[in-house]
Structure 1
Amino acid sequence: MDFEPWWLIIVPVLFGLGWLAARFDFRQMLSETRALPDSYFKGLNFLLNEQPDRAIDAFVEVAKLDPETTELHFALGSLFRRRGEIERAIRVHQSLLSRGDLPLPDRENAQLALAQDFLKAGMLDRAEQGFRAVLQTRHDLEALRALVRIHESEHDWDKAIDTVQQLRARIDEPVPQLAHYHCERAQALMEARTPDFDAAAQALDAAENAVRRNGSTPASETRVRMLRARWAALRGDLESQRAHLQDVLSTAPEFSGLVAQPLLDCYAALGRAAEGLSLLREQYGRLPTLDLFNVIFRALRATEGAVPAWAFARQALRAHPSLLGLDRLLEVELAQGGAERAGRTAEAAPDVSPGGGGLPGEPLVPGADLGLLRSMIHKHTQRLDRYACGHCGFEARRYYWQCPGCNTWETYRPRRLEEIR
């Protein structure tokens, strides 16, 4: 390639232009740095030295000196919220919204941040107003999700269902808890002072549709079946109640303990108590649980007496040793045996001879202090006689479809702590 003389001119010119551009940028950077308050650099220094409290104070001073620093205001508000200083976060975001010259995108961000502050503070009505104010903005999906949580916290199931439908209209994402919203609504309609059985039936149909659309889970299917059984029982349709409860034994056997007592009561009301008890004993043989054990033992003790009940208990506890099972057994024996002894004392005196067996209601082990034994065991079983949330670990004596601690759905296993540890 031939050498061109004009290269001798263009190369120095390009070098000079680059030097001027670098000089200009450096001067601009120096001028911007001088414009920043000293508190800004103090705040950065405090952050580097892991002194967040003093850094916050320094940045607050910067925000006071220069109200135009909107990004710093947002950062401070978010930091206050995470630290639990909700009042300070609210004041920061309200001061932003009070500015008349705030650009629209920043105003929307401030409105969303303020709604999040109110939600964190538990001021649900004001949080709802804040999220509704940004529904028609780029934050509408986040606002709709937050509104679902708010209506769920308020147990306003109609609004929660409506908000989920709005969310599904904007984005095709599954909402697994929707079936439970319909179930909660159906339960409320059935338990009202004036029950609306037609509306409850429609709610249960909607719950089944939600289960099919969002993917079925054993918990949601079981809950729908249990509520349909409840609906049938309130209408006096015992055969339908039995069918729905019995379906749980085959489709979701891990939930058998939750339906065992109402299923047994239903069989008894139909005049088929022995058949119901036999069915539960077969279910226990396939999948033993403490709740199922307790129902079967109580039923045997009440209908067939102490000997068959204790025979079942001995066999069950040998196969699956359980302190909680023994505690339940002793509880029933003390209550049932005490009632029997009280009822028979007037009819017969106890046989205290060396070969005597005492009253017909005496325990199978003569002289055994079952009350003392139970009190000793009960101290150890109290902490095991609970259901536990698999998400946050919240423990409760009754089964919940939604955890009262973290508000997540279907995180409780239908087994007591002793069975899962």
Structure 2
Amino acid sequence: MDFEPWLLILVPVLFGLGWVAARVDIRQMLKETRNLPQSYFRGLNFLLNEQPDHAIDAFVEVAKLDSETTELHFALGSLFRRRGEMERAIRVHQSLLARADLPAAEREHALHELAQDYLKAGLLDRAEESFRQLDNSRYALPALRALIRIYETAHDWPRAIEAVRTLQGLVEEPVPQLVHYYCEQAQMALAGGKPDLEAASRALDAAEHAVASQKQAMRTPVSQVRIAMLRGRLAAVEQDFRSERQHLMGILKDAPEYAGLVAERILENYRISGEEVQALAVLQAHYEEHPSLDLFNIVFRELRAQQGGDIAWAYARKALEQHPSLLGLDRLLEVELAGTDQSGALVRGADLTLLRNLIHKHTQRLDRYVCHNCGFQARRYYWQCPGCNEWETYEPRRLEELS
């Protein structure tokens, strides 16, 4: 290849241009650094020295001195929200929205941050209004999910259902809690002195349709158990006890671990037709195959009522030998003491009282259902955890049975 003499000129020229550019960048950086308020450097120094409270105060001063620092405003607002200082977070984001020169993208960002501030502060009306203003923005999906949470919190099930339908129209995203929204509607329709049977039936039809529309992998026995329980309750209100029995017995067959939630109602259903002996036999047989503490309590109590204390105690002794449980012993002592009358043996009653008190002191912490998502413990069974608001996070077993 022939050597080109002009290359001897080009190389020094390019080197010189690079040197000039570097000098210009350095001067520009130094100029921008000199323009930064002293509070900015104080804030950095506080952060390096692990003094976050002083750093925040310094950065707040920077934000006041330079209104153009939008990223700093966003960072401060988010930090205030995480620290629970909701008033300060709201003021920061409101001050951004008050700027007439704020670009559209940053205005949407500020509105989304402000809506989250309102939500965490419990100002649901303002949060809803702010999230609704983001319908046609890049934050439309997270805003819609937040609206669903708001409607859940307010128990506004029709609007929650509407929001879920809108979400499903935008993305192919499963929302399994939709089934429970319809169940909540049915439960509300059946409550009170004048239940609305038609509304309850429509809601349960919709719940079953929601289950059917889910993919097989997304279907859970929890929602189907709840639908069956509500179908049974609706049938009982209509005095269709045969249909009620079919729904309840279907739960024993399809979701046997939930027997403790429906055993009382099964006994009552059989009792109406004078078949309580058969009901007890059914529950005893179920306990042999699928033992649980709640079912044990119901079987023991009914066995004592039907066949007397001696037979009930013999059954309890055998059951506790096979499945040792302090909670089980505590419950049967409670039933025994409740059945002791004045003609009973006072010394034996006093001994049982002392024994029960000692056991009960140690079993109170075990007599709970527990959320496997957040660990929230509750005496009653919940379809939605009161702690984290997630659905279907409780197993139908007490804490002692899970350990």
User: Is the pair's TM-score, using the shorter chain for normalization, greater than 0.5?
Assistant: yes
CA deviations over 1:14-51 (Å, ceiling 9, x no partner): 12221222122111111111111111122112112211
Matching residue of 1:247: 250
Structure 1: distance between partners of 2:360 and 2:194: 42
Pairing of 1:249-288 with structure 2 (within 5 A): 249-288=252-291
Distance in 2, Cα, partners of 1:122 & 1:274 = 52
Per-residue CA distance 1:87-128 (angstroms, 9 max, x = gap): 000101111111111111111111111111010101111111
Q: Helix, strand or coil: the match of 2:173?
A: coil
Distance in 1 of aligned mates of 2:202 and 2:334: 42
Match of 2:230 in 1: 227
* Inter-CA distance 368–26: structure 2 relative to 1 (3 Å threshold): closer
AA aligned to 2:10 is I
TM-aligned CA deviation for residue 213 of structure 1? 2.9
User: What is the aligned partner in structure 2 of residue 293 from structure 1?
Assistant: 296
Report the alpha carbon displacement of residue 366 of structure 1 after superposing the two structures with TM. 6.0
AA at the equivalent of 2:396: P
- How big is the shift at 1:274? 1.3
| Aligned equivalent of 2:239 | 236
Q: Is 1:405 the counterpart of 2:387 in the alignment? A: yes
Q: 1:194 offset after TM fit, Å?
A: 2.7
SS at match of 1:369: helix
Post-superposition Cα deviations, 1:374-403, rounded to whole Å, max 9, x if no partner, equal: 222221222211111112211111111111
Structure 1 residues 5-404: aligned runs within 5 Å: 5-214=5-214, 215-338=218-341, 369-404=351-386
Separation in 2 of the partners of 1:68 and 1:245? 65
Q: CA RMSD in A?
A: 1.5
Letter in 1 for 2:140: D
Structure 2 unaligned segments of length 5 or more: list them: none
How many aligned residue pairs are there?
Answer: 400
Distance 1:289 1:18, change over 3 A: same
Cα-to-partner distance string for 1:199-253 (whole Å, 9 max, x where unaligned): 1111111112222333211211111111111111110010111111111111111
Say if 2:337 and 2:349, in contact at 8 Å, map to a contact too: no
Residues in 2 aligned to 1:77 and 1:368: alpha-carbon distance in whole angstroms = 63
* 2:96/2:110 contact within 8 Å kept: yes
2:359 alignment partner AA? I
CA distance in 1 between counterparts of 2:52 and 2:287 reads: 58
Q: Secondary structure at the match of 2:68?
A: coil
Residue type of the partner of 2:162?
D
For 1:126, give the aligned amino acid: R
Note the alpha carbon deviations across 1:329-353, whole angstroms, 9 max, x for none: 1111122232xxx5xx6xxxxxxxx
Kept in 1: contact 2:369–2:397 (CA 8 A): yes
For residue 57 of structure 1, what is the amino acid of its counterpart?
A: D
Distance 1:23 1:367 in 2: 96
1:420 aligns with 2:384: no
Which protein has the larger Cα radius of gyration, Structure 1 or Structure 2?
A: 1
Mapped to 1, the partners of 2:176 and 2:279 lie a distance apart of: 34
Cα deviation per residue 1:125-178 (whole Å; 9 max; x = unaligned)? 111111011111111101000000000001111111111111111111011111
1:53-88 CA-partner distances (Å, limit 9, x unpaired): 111111111111111111111111111101111100
Q: Partner of 1:410: helix, strand, or coil? A: coil
CA distance in 2, matches of 1:325, 1:72: 59
Taking the aligned partners of 1:277 and 1:166, their CA distance within structure 2 comes to: 48
Amino acid at match of 1:408: E
SS of structure 1 residue aligned to 2:219:
coil
Name the CA distance, whole Å, in 2 between partners of 1:367 and 1:409. 44
Structure 1 residues not aligned, in runs of 5+: 346-360
Q: Which segment is superposed worse, 367-376 or 409-418?
A: 367-376
- Post-superposition Cα deviations, 1:243-278, rounded to whole Å, max 9, x if no partner, equal 111111111111111111101111111222111111
Amino acid corresponding to residue 115 of structure 2 in structure 1: A
* AA aligned opposite 2:91: R
What's the offset of the Cα at 1:372? 2.1
- How far off is 1:193 after superposition? 3.9
Identical residues among aligned pairs (%): 64
Amino acid at match of 2:81: R
